[in-house]
């Protein structure tokens, strides 16, 4: 701790309030000495060594942000390539994104715990869904009973929502039309007859 001299009452005090002693700070005297503090800060920022320090920091920050951008690009390239090659990883990414977004939108506080704490078994979901249909159409992972019908503040209902039996591959356009309706599981043949 450092000894400071209070700007208001000129008493020497120990503490972390740089310009005021604890008593003056608690009595809301900060507005009274605000002008003095601003003048001191402005004078301090005009010093050449401070200007040089700020310039170096800005340059280093710019370099760091560019290297971070390059790192993110290479990481995204790797992830996209892996999604194309590995179906299990692709399904895991889809489920993780849908789970996180669903919890943010539908739970009261918008916070998520790891999926394992809710009892969601990714391997069982991947095994149940099987291969993604490869007929040239875009497919989504759909909830047969919609997510919005479940209480996302109750861990048991979150587990039921993400049970493997409640998930299916569904064509993207049908999934957009279905929205939060409850429609029994559609086979690929029924999806081909779309629109109903």
Per residue in 135-181, pLDDT (tens digit) is 778 888 899 999 988 988 888 999 999 999 999 888 888 888 888 88
| 121 and 73 inside one domain | no
**What is the model's pLDDT at position 160?**
92
| 81 and 21 inside one domain | no
| 65 and 98 inside one domain | no
**What is the model's pLDDT at position 194?**
63
| 105 and 157 inside one domain | yes
The CB-side HSE value for 174 (13 A sphere, CA atoms) comes to: 26
Query: In the structure, what pLDDT confidence band is assigned to residue 196 with cuts at 50, 70 and 90?
Result: low
Q: Do 128 and 167 meet the contact criterion of CB atoms below 8 Å apart? A: yes
Compute the average pLDDT of residues 61-66.
74
| 166 and 132 inside one domain | yes
Q: Is 153 inside any structural domain?
A: yes
Closest CA to 92 of 135, 129, 37, 143: 129
| 107 and 180 inside one domain | yes
| 147 and 65 inside one domain | no
Boundary of a domain, candidates 62, 85, 108: 85
| 188 and 153 inside one domain | yes
Domain count within the chain: 3
Report percent pLDDT > 70 for the chain.
81
| 146 and 179 inside one domain | yes
| 187 and 97 inside one domain | yes
Unique residue bearing structure tokens 């790891």: 114
| 113 and 185 inside one domain | yes
How long, in residues, is the chain? Answer: 196
Q: Is 173 inside any structural domain?
A: yes
Q: Which domain holds residue 69?
A: 49-85
Q: Is 2 inside any structural domain?
A: no
| 140 three-class SS | strand
Chain mean position to CA 75: 17
Say yes or no to pLDDT of 97 above 60.
yes
| 50 three-class SS | helix
Say yes or no to pLDDT of 77 above 70.
yes
Cis status, amide bond into 195, omega within 30 of 0: yes
Among 7-11, 16-20, 21-25, 36-40, which stretch is predicted with the lowest mean pLDDT? 16-20
Query: In the structure, what pLDDT confidence band is assigned to residue 18 with cuts at 50, 70 and 90?
Result: low
Q: Is 5 inside any structural domain?
A: no
| 96 and 174 inside one domain | yes
**What is the model's pLDDT at position 35?**
75
Q: Is 10 inside any structural domain?
A: no
Inter-axis angle of helices 48-85 and 87-106, to 10 degrees? 120
In degrees, rounded to 5, the angle at the alpha carbon of residue 121 between the alpha carbons of residues 118 and 125 is: 130
Q: Is 12 inside any structural domain?
A: no
Q: Is 4 inside any structural domain?
A: no
């Amino acid at each position: 701790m450092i000894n400071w001299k209070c700007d208001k009452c000129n008493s020497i005090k120990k503490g972390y309030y740089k310009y005021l002693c604890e008593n003056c700070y608690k009595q809301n005297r900060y507005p009274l000495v605000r002008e003095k503090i601003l003048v001191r800060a402005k004078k301090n920022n005009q010093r050449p060594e401070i200007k040089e320090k700020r310039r170096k920091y800005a340059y280093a920050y710019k370099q760091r942000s560019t290297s971070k951008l390059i790192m993110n690009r290479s990481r995204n390239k790797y992830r996209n390539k892996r999604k194309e090659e590995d179906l299990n990883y692709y399904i895991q990414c889809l489920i993780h994104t849908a789970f996180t977004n669903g919890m943010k939108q539908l739970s009261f506080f918008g916070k998520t715990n790891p999926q394992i704490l809710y009892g969601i078994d990714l391997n069982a979901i991947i095994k149940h869904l099987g291969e993604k249909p490869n007929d040239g159409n875009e497919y989504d992972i759909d909830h047969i009973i919609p997510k919005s019908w479940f209480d996302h503040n109750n861990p048991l209902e979150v587990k039921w929502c993400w049970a493997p039996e409640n998930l299916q591959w569904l064509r993207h356009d049908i999934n957009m039309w279905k929205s939060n309706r409850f429609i029994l599981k559609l086979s690929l043949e029924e999806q081909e007859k779309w629109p109903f």
